[in-house]
Amino acid sequence: MPQQPLKNRNALITGAGKGLGKTFALALAQGGVNLGLVGRNADTLKSVAEEARKHGVTAETFTADISREKDVLDLEKAVASKFQKIHILINNAGINVRKNVTDFTYDEWTSVINTNLVGAFLMCRSFVPRMKDEGYGRIINLTSIMAHVSSTGRGVYSATKHAVAGLTKALALELVDDAITCVAISPGFIATDLTAPLRADPAKNAALMAQTPIKRWGKPEEIAALALYICSDAAAFMTGNDVLIDGGWCAQ
C-alpha cells in the first residue's frame, strides 16, 4: 500500500477548528490530503491550518455557519475559488442542548436541528455535485451513539442524529452510480475539549465509565483512524452504514 494513498485528494471538513474536526483534519493532512477547513471561529481554523501545512498540504480556511443557507451558498463559491474538486466531505459540525424535550424552547429546538441536520443537508446539496465524475468520493457524516440509543436530556440531539443516519442511507443509495460512498460514524464518549467538563467531574466521569464496557474514554485519534479507512480505496464496498465506535456502549 502506498505511504500516502490519499495524496492530492481535497477534503472539506465542517467544525474543523477543534475536537474531532481538528483531529480529522490533521490525520488527513498527514495522509497528503489538501484541506478546506470550515467553522465559525476564524482563529481556531487558522491554527489548525498552520499545523496541517507542516505536512506539506494546502489548507484553506472558510468562516461560515453551516446552519444558514446563505452562508453555505457563499461557502460554495469561496471553496470553488480555491479547489477545483472536492473528493471528501466530512459533516462533523454539531451542537447539543441538554434538556428534557418538553423544556425546550422553539428556538433551542431549531438551533440544534439546523446545525446537526439541516447543516449536513445544505453541505451535501452544495458540494456533492462537485464530487461527481471523479470515480471516487467519500461523505462521512458524524452521528453518535445517540443515533442508536437515547437518554434523559438528549432527546433533541438524539432525534437529529437518528435523522442524519437516515440521510446517510438515502445518500448512499442515490450516489452509488457516481462511485461516491456515504458512511456515518457514531462515536461514544471521546476525550476532546468538548467533553473536558464531564471528565473533570469525578461523579459524572465515574458514572460514564461504569456504563462503558472498555472502561475508558475513546481517543480522537481512534475516530480519525476509522475515517481514514473509510476514505481509503479498501473501503470502497462500504456505504450506507453507521459505524459504532463506542467502547461497547451499544452492545449492552
Give the active site residues: 157
Q: Report the interhelical angle of 119-127 vs 69-80 (nearest 10°).
A: 30
C-alpha cell belonging to residue 11 = 477534503
- Cβ atoms < 10 Å from Cβ of 162: 18
Q: Measured between alpha carbons, how far is residue 192 from residues 178, 220, 223 in Å?
A: 35, 7, 11
Q: Compute the distance between CA of residue 45 and CA of residue 156 in angstroms, rounded to an integer.
A: 28
Distant-in-sequence, close-in-space partners of 18: CB < 8 Å, separation ≥ 6: 44, 192, 193, 194
Angle, CA 94 vertex, CA 235 and CA 154 arms, to 5°? 105
Is residue 16 within 8 Å of 22, Cβ to Cβ? yes
C-alpha cell belonging to residue 64 = 461560515
Q: Compute the distance between CA of residue 116 and CA of residue 182 in angstroms, rounded to an integer.
A: 16
C-alpha cell belonging to residue 172 = 448512499
C-alpha cell belonging to residue 83 = 479547489
Q: Compute the distance between CA of residue 24 and CA of residue 210 in angstroms, rounded to an integer.
A: 28
